[in-house]
């Protein structure tokens, strides 16, 4: 991500009320998370319930879209916080 994109994201986050302190707390809480363990658990769950997931997705497309949006924003926040520490 270039500096202009980072500044734009920072400005956007500030407009919606997300402060640098909040990003720092998010980053701190993510350092203790075993992401691979959670991904493996999610993979196992999806393998076991792929039929249920497909049905849920078909019946609740709005909820699925909202969940994807939340994940995208969360990933953006985390990337922004990590990039800020590299500078």
Q: Spell out the domain ranges in the chain.
A: 3-86
80, containing H or E segment: helix 61-86
Convert the pLDDT of each residue in 43-86 to its tens digit. 887 777 777 778 888 899 898 889 888 888 888 888 888 887 76
Calculate the alpha carbon distances from 21 to 6, 17, 51, 83 in Å: 16, 11, 41, 15
87 or 64: which leads in pLDDT:
64
Rg (CA), the chain: 16
Q: What is the DSSP letter of 16?
A: T
pTM beyond 0.75: the answer is no
The Cα–Cα gap between 46 and 54 comes to 10
């Amino acid at each position: 991500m270039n500096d202009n994109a980072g500044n734009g994201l920072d400005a956007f986050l500030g407009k919606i009320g997300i402060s640098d302190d909040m990003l720092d707390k998010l980053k701190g809480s993510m350092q203790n998370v075993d992401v691979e363990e959670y991904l493996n658990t999610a993979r196992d769950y999806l393998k076991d319930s792929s039929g249920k997931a497909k049905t849920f997705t078909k019946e609740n497309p709005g909820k699925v879209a909202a969940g994807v949006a939340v994940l995208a924003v969360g990933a953006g926040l985390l990337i922004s916080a990590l990039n800020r520490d590299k500078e």
